[in-house]
Structures are given as C-alpha cells and as structure tokens.
Amino acid sequence: MATKKIKLRKTGSLYYWLLGLTFLLLLFGTVMIFSASQIVAYSQTNDSYYYLKKHLIALFMGLIGLYLFSRANYKALNKYSLYLAIFSLILLVGVLIPGIGTKAGGSSSWFDLGILNFQPSEFAKLTLIIFVASLLSRKDKDLSQLKELLLPLAPLLGLFLLLMILQPDLGTAIAVAFTVLAMVFIAGARNAHILALLLTGIFSTVLLILQKPYRIRRILAFVNPWDDPYGKGFHIIQSLLALGSGGLEGVGLGMSRQKFFYLPAGHTDFILSIVGEELGLGGTLFVVFMFLFLAYIGIRICNQAKDKFGQVLGGGIITLILFQAIINMGVAVGILPITGITLPLISFGGSSLVFTLMSIGILLSIASHGKELNKKADNARDNLRRRDGRTHLPRRGSGRRVAFQGKS
C-alpha cells in the first residue's frame, strides 16, 4: 500500500499546520506550567492553581487576539504602523515613571492591572516589527544605500532600545535588535551593511555589559557557575541538575524534585529544565523539534506572501519567536548567560503569551490571504484551460467563418 507524503506546498495547508502546532505547544505549556508552579504557588498563596488560573486568563485573552488578527487583513497594519509605534513608546516611557510602573526585582517593566501585569515591552516588540516592516517595504531599491537604510530606522530603533535598557531589560533589547537586523536582511539590504550593523550591535552590547557590575557577574557565572554556586551560579547549576536527573526517560510528569524551591523561576525562565527532569531527553527534544517545525512553517508562509510587507512582517515575527526560544533553551542548558527571556507559548508569562498569540494571528492572516490569492489564480488557470479546450462558435467576419462557408 502506497503511503502518502506530507506536503506543505500550498499556503492553505500551512495555515492549518501553524494553527495546529500552536495549539499543541499551548496545551503542552499549560500542563508544564501547572506541574512546575504548583508547589511555589501553594507556598505563596495557599492555592496550588494560582499560576495556572492566571495563565488560563492570559491564554483566553491571547486566543481572542489570535482569532481577531487571523481574521483581519494584515495589510491594514501598514496604515497604522506609525501610530502603534508612537503609542508603544508612550507606554515604555510611562512604565519608568514612579507610581505608574510597577517595580519588581530591580526592574520597572510592568503595569499592575489587577488580574494581570501588563508588560509594555512585549507590546513594543510587536509594534516595532510592524513599523519596521512597513518602513522597509516602502524603501525597496533604496536599501542599497546606507543612508536610506538608517533613516529613519536607526533613530526610532535606538529610542526603543534605550527605553528597554533603562527598565533595565537588556535581554529584550538584544532580542529586538537581532529581529530588526534579520528583517533588514529579509528586505534585501546589502550584506556589507548588515555585517556593519551586526558588529555595531555586538560592540554596543559589550559596552552595556561592562557598564553594570551585575551583568559582568552573570557572564562570569555563565563561564564557571561553580565559582559562586550559592550566588550567581545557583540558577545554572540547579538547571543542569534538573536536566541531568531527568536522564533519557525523566522522573515522571509532576514528579520533579527541583521545583521544591531548588530551581528558581522553574515555571518561567527555566521551564525547559523542568521539562527535561520530568519528561527526560525525549521531552526536551520534543520541544526543540516543535520550535524547529514552527520556524519551517513560518518561513514557508513568508515565502508565499504576495507582498513585501507581508514577507518582512512575517519574517520578523518568526525570527523573534525563534530567537527567544533559542536564548531560553541556551540558558537552560548552560551555554548562554541568564537573560530573563521566557520560552514562547510554554513558559508562564501573561503579556508574553498574549502578544505572541497575536503575532501568530498575524502570521495566520498572511497565510490565509495568500491562500485566497492562490485560489483566485488557480480558478483563473482552470477557466483558461476550459475556455481553450472547448469548441468556439465562429464570429462574424472571422476567417474561420469564411472557411466554413467555403466548405459548405
């Protein structure tokens, strides 16, 4: 019996693959959030379901956003990109004002909305991607000139990054800068200009790290966490212990030992460590494969977008999601320093989940509109074949009619 091969050639099939994969990651993440957070939740609030309840609220809001953005035409975002960028800048400034923004762990990154904490930097990620996609799609051939590439992109991007660094949130700033650089590459800028921007970003990051002693200590802890096992190296050591104790098969779902106050932030930054401990190497590789598959589907959707705005916008969204996933996984396995970036769609984090789902909704919109255009093209080709294949009656004055009369 012949087996059917899975083909992802049409944009319509990519739409459903992306939607199904998103729901699979959300289901997996919900289970792991409850498993990783129940002990901490009970100790803090006497309610083991506390973080699960907050996650479900954010999930519900995110799914509404996903549905609305997937049903809308993504091209409408092009018209409002500047207004969205300005609004997000206002929010980034507002969160730094004492009494308005909420300060926790030395960082002013949230607005306290009661049932949820709103993190404006998550909103700023999405709005900046939309604005940069709009800007780059209009420049087109001008991207070959460095001046045209940098204006007005560089000043606005610099302002966004500055406000994020002031929170301080260097990890988010790095993720945003890398995403914009990838969008510039997708838009067709010269490789020499991209390399220059990359080197500038690396140099700026090094300067920012050297500016703050706690950032230097994080780097040193990453290089050798055993030099400070009860200080800066504690997170990485406990994460490695969780992954190591899980082995190939894991200790069993819900049976993690590290979540008993050994591994800090087990339901947020280090949720992959809990996955590895409870579900083993197989569970960890499952997460890695899902994000690789998500990246593949996202890239295919961008390639099949019918306009440059859709291509660059979709490329920025999938780059940001994948970059955050890579950073989070790298921190969990000890090959990258701690950044505070969560694992998209899996870690606990209301604002991150809501705006990630909205971003995926935009990707679905790009896929669905590509599908509609493909259907129109297919119908046009079918009509052309039918028109050419059937017999046509001769028109008055045509050579075919003269020939016909001559034969009669």
Report the 3 state secondary structure along the chain.
CCCCCCCCCCHHHHHHHHHHHHHHHHHHHHHHHHHHHHHHHHHHHCCCCHHHHHHHHHHHHHHHHHHHHHHCCCCHHHHCHHHHHHHHHHHHHHCCCECCEEEECCEEEEEECCCCEECHHHHHHHHHHHHHHHHHHHHHHHHHCHHHHHCCHHHHHHHHHHHHHCCCCHHHHHHHHHHHHHHHHHHCCCHHHHHHHHHHHHHHHHHHHHHCHHHHHHHHHHHCHHHCCCCCCHHHHHHHHHHHHHCCCCCCCCCCCCCCCCCCCCCCCCHHHHHHHHHHHHHHHHHHHHHHHHHHHHHHHHHCCCCHHHHHHHHHHHHHHHHHHHHHHHHHCCCCCCCCCCCCCCCCCHHHHHHHHHHHHHHHHHHHHHHHHHHHHHHHHHHHHHHHHCCCCCCCCCHHHHHHHHHC
> Tell me, what's the pLDDT at 377?
47
> Tell me, what's the pLDDT at 217?
80
Low-confidence ranges of the chain (pLDDT < 70): 1-12, 103-108, 114-115, 140-141, 370-408
Picking from 154, 157, 149, the residue whose alpha carbon sits closest to that of residue 85 is: 157
> Tell me, what's the pLDDT at 383?
53
> Tell me, what's the pLDDT at 271?
94
> Tell me, what's the pLDDT at 56?
95
- Residue pair 342/354 in contact by the 8 Å Cβ criterion: no
> Tell me, what's the pLDDT at 140?
67
What pTM did the predictor assign?
A: 0.85
> Tell me, what's the pLDDT at 150?
80
Residue 118 pairs in a beta bridge with 111
- Residue pair 107/167 in contact by the 8 Å Cβ criterion: yes
- pLDDT tens per residue, range 115-135: 677 888 899 999 999 999 999
Rounded distance, CA 245 to CA 111, Å?
Answer: 38
Rounded distance, CA 22 to CA 278, Å?
Answer: 22
> Tell me, what's the pLDDT at 104?
63
> Tell me, what's the pLDDT at 403?
42
Rounded distance, CA 167 to CA 370, Å?
Answer: 39
Rounded distance, CA 233 to CA 218, Å?
Answer: 8
Rounded distance, CA 149 to CA 10, Å?
Answer: 33
Picking from 387, 294, 369, 342, the residue whose alpha carbon sits closest to that of residue 125 is: 342
